[in-house]
Structures are given as structure tokens and as C-alpha cells.
Amino acid sequence: MPGDFFDTNVLVCLTSREPAKAARARELLDAGGTISVQVLNEIANVTQRKLGFTWPETHDFLLLIRELLSVNPVTIGIHEAGLGLAERYRLSVYDGMIAAAALDAGCDTLWSEDIHDGLLIDGRLTVANPFRPQ
């Protein structure tokens, strides 16, 4: 079943001081989708190190995300596939893991502000920047 997968940076935009960006992120999330446990870990790191959230705020934000989206575990298979994708498409290791998790979940769109907009991965997963000018 095709679907949407979200990179960490799109979810962090929910906290953006740019109203249009936050609204676009919320619009996409309201339609549902999938993330991996890695994305939850990255969100926790960003909220603590860059956004100055308290631990209770971080937990509340993670709970909100988990309520809105399906969460897939990171497995050894996803790890191996992610390394291959990172090498083949010249992605960071972390972006390779995100792409592998999206493919594993059967998603056809990977929403990301950081990975090359329009990139087609394995002929099945298209990277799309939700904030690109229309």
C-alpha cells in the first residue's frame, strides 16, 4: 500500500516560527503516514540539543508524533539496505536508513527538506520537499 514517510526535518517544522512551514507540516501529518524509530530518536536529539525543550516537552512532542503516524522498527535488514542506499545514491548514512525504512514500509513518497528533491530511489520511492515553492 503506497503511503507517505516523513524525515525528521519535516516533523521538527511543526515547531517552526514560520507559520506557513508549520502549517504545511501539519497538513501533511494530518493525512497520516509512517516514520521509523530512528526518526523518533533524531527528534528527541533535536528537541534537546537545538530547540531547548525540557524533557517533559520532548516526551509530549514524541507522543504527539506517535499518535499521528505509524512507527516502524529499525531492523538489521533495514540497516543493511540503508548502507546500500547510502552508497548507491551518495546519501548520508542516516538518510540511507530513512530511505530504507520508507521502502520497507511500502511507502512511495519520502517527505524531506534535506534529501535531493525529486530523487527516485529504487524506482519506487520519490523524495519530495514539502516546502519547495509551487
The pLDDT tens digits for 105-127 are 999 999 999 999 999 999 999 99
The string of DSSP codes covering 47-75 is HHHTS---HHHHHHHHHHHHHHSEEEPP-
Domain 4-128 classification at class level:
alpha beta
The pLDDT tens digits for 9-51 are 999 999 988 999 999 999 999 999 999 999 999 999 999 999 9
pTM to 2 decimal places:
0.93
Q: Angle at CA 128, nearest 5°, toward 41 and 4? A: 60
CA distance 51 to 44: 10
Domain residue ranges of the chain, discontinuous segments joined by +: 4-128
The pLDDT tens digits for 49-103 are 999 999 999 999 999 999 999 999 999 999 999 999 999 999 999 999 999 999 9
